Structure 1
Amino acid sequence: MSPEGLWSIGELAERAGVTVKTVRYYSDGGLLPAAGRSAGGHRRYGPEALERLRLIRSLRTLDLPVPEVARVLDDEDGAVLEGVVEGQLRELGARMAALRWREAALRLVRDCPPGERAERLRLVGAVRVPPSTDALARFWRRWLPPRLPARVVATVLEQTVPQPPEDPSPSQVLAFARLHAFVSAPCEAGDRAQPAAHRGHRPDVLYEGLDDAYALAAPRLRAGRAPRAGEALDCFVAAYARSGGSRDTPAFRRDLGRVLAADPRIDRYWRLAAEVFGPDRTTAGAAHDWLLAALHTDLEAA
C-alpha cells in the first residue's frame, strides 16, 4: 500500500483474486472508480474498492448484465437490486420452461413409431418455443360476437384457452401442437357458422351467466355425477332466458334444447384442450355438454 493508503491496480487485483485486465475493464466502464493517481499517472484504489469489486463479481456470478450491475451499485436503498433479481428470476423461469418444453417434444419424437415421426415433427415444428397461445386467442375472438365487453372476453379466453404447462408431458406437447394446428387451419364457409345464442341475445349477459353455470357444473362433472336437473341447470337456462329477454318456462326449455342441439360443435378442440389443461381442470366445453345433457334429461322427465 502506498503512503497515501492506496493500492495499485495490480495490488487490488491480487487481493481480489482477479486479473489486472478484469479490474481495468470494470474501471474503464465506470463501475470501479479510482481513488486517485500516482505521480506517474497510474490508478490508485482504496480499501473500499476491494469491497466494491467483490460485490461486482458476486452480481456478475448471478449472470446480471453489466448495465444492471451499474444500476445496483448506484442504488442506496436496495430497491434496484430487488427489482433486478425479480427480473432475472422471470427470465430464468421462461428459459427453463422453454427447455422443459423442448425436452418433452424431443421425447415425443423419440418414442413414437417411426411412421408417425414426420407428422409429429411437422406439428411440433409449427409451434414456437416457448409456446404462444396467440393463435388460440385469435380463434376465440373470431368466434365471439363483436363489441363484447373486454371483461367478458377476458373471462371467456381464460376458460377456453389452455396455457402450456410449465412441465409438460410429451402427450401434452402433442395435444397443444394439434390444437394449434386446428385453430390455424383455414376455415371453410360452413365452419364459420355462429351459435344461435349469438342471435337475438345480449352476449355479455349470456356469457357471464354461462360462466356461473359452468362453475356450478364442474364439481359435479369431476365427481362423475350423471347430468340432471338442479342449481347448475337452472343457472344455465336462466343465462339464456335473461340474455334473450325471456322467462324460464317449460316451453322455453323445449325451444332452448332444440336450438342448442342444432348449434355447431368443436368437439375436437375441447378434447385437445382437456388434455392440455390436465385432469384437474374441467373445460367449458365439457361443462356445456353436461348441462345440455341435463336439459334433455329434464325435458324427457317432464
Structure 2
Amino acid sequence: MKLIDIVVPSFNEEGNIKSLYERIVKLNIRKYKLRLIFIDDGSKDNTLFEIKKLPKNKIGLKVAFISFSRNFGHQVALKAGLDHSNADAVISMDADLQHPPELIPKLIQRWEDGAEIVYTIRKDNEKVSWFKRNTASIFYNLLNYLSGLQISHGAADFRLLDKKVIQALKMYNEKNLFIRGLVTAIGFKKESIEYTPELRVWGVSKYSVKRMFLFALDGITSFSVKPLHFATYFGMLLSFFSGAYGIYAIIIFFTSDSVVTGWASVLTSVLFIGGVQLIILGIIGEYLGKLFIQSKGRPNYLISEKDV
C-alpha cells in the first residue's frame, strides 16, 4: 500500500491541532497509508504538547512530528517536512485550517490521474481586504515579470507533490527559500484546483505586513537578477541627464548675463540622486547578503526533537 505524507508547518497553533487531526481522520481514506507530519516551528505555546497528545497510530493514519530548536520560518518548515519524507506523495498544508482538509481527496484523485504536482489556487471571498487582494496581485505580476516564471495568482502552499518531485526539491539547499517559485521552476506535469480559504477560528495570522514584504522580496531576489539590471539602466539614465544638464549649465554661463542660482534646485537634485544611489546600493546589498549567508554553509534548521 502506498504512503502519503501530510506535512503541516505549525507555529503557535495549539488551538487548531486537534481540529485538524479530527477532520483528516473523518476523510476516511483507506486506499493509502497516511502519515501526518507536524513541523513545530519553535512554537512558544503548547503546540508541541497538543501534537504529542494525538493518537500515534489510528487505522490508516500515523502521527509524527519534528520540533525545531527555534523559529526558522514557514518555508524552512515545509522543506524540513520534504527532507524527512520517503512517501510516494506529499501533501503540504497549513495548520490554521484555512486550507480545507476536505480538498485532500481531490488532490489525490488528480495525482492518480497522472499529475505530478497538484497545486491549489486561493480564491478570496469578499471579506478579504482591498489592500491584501491588490498587493497580492501586484506581487505576482511583478514576480512573474522579473523572474520569467508563471506562478498562478493566488497559488498557495497547499499542494500535492509526487515522489519524483520531492527528490528533485531535496537537492535544493538555498537559505532564502521560496518554495512556490521552486515548484514552478522545476517543471513536471502540473494541475491546479481552486479553493476558498476558510476563516481562521483560532489564533492570529503569522504574516504581518513586514513579513509579507520580506517574503515578496525573497521571492523576487531568489529567482531574478533583473533588479540589478534596472539599477544599472537607471544609473546610466541619470548619468545621461546629469551630463546634459552640465552642458546646458556651461552654455548658459557663457551666453547669458541673467544666470539665476537657487539652493532649492541644487538641494533637490542632490537629495534625489542620493536617494537613487541608496536604493541601488540596497538592491546590490540584498544579493550580496544572500551570497554571504549561502557561503557560510550553515544548516537551514536545527531539530531539538523528532518522532518521524
Q: Which has more strand, going by share of residues?
A: 2
Range of TM-score over shorter length: under 0.3
Q: Which has more helix, going by share of residues?
A: 1
Q: Comparing both chains, which one has the higher relative contact order based on Cα–Cα distances under 8 Å and sequence gaps of 6 or more? A: 2
TM-score of the superposed pair, with normalisation by structure 1: 0.22
TM-score of the superposed pair, with normalisation by structure 2: 0.22
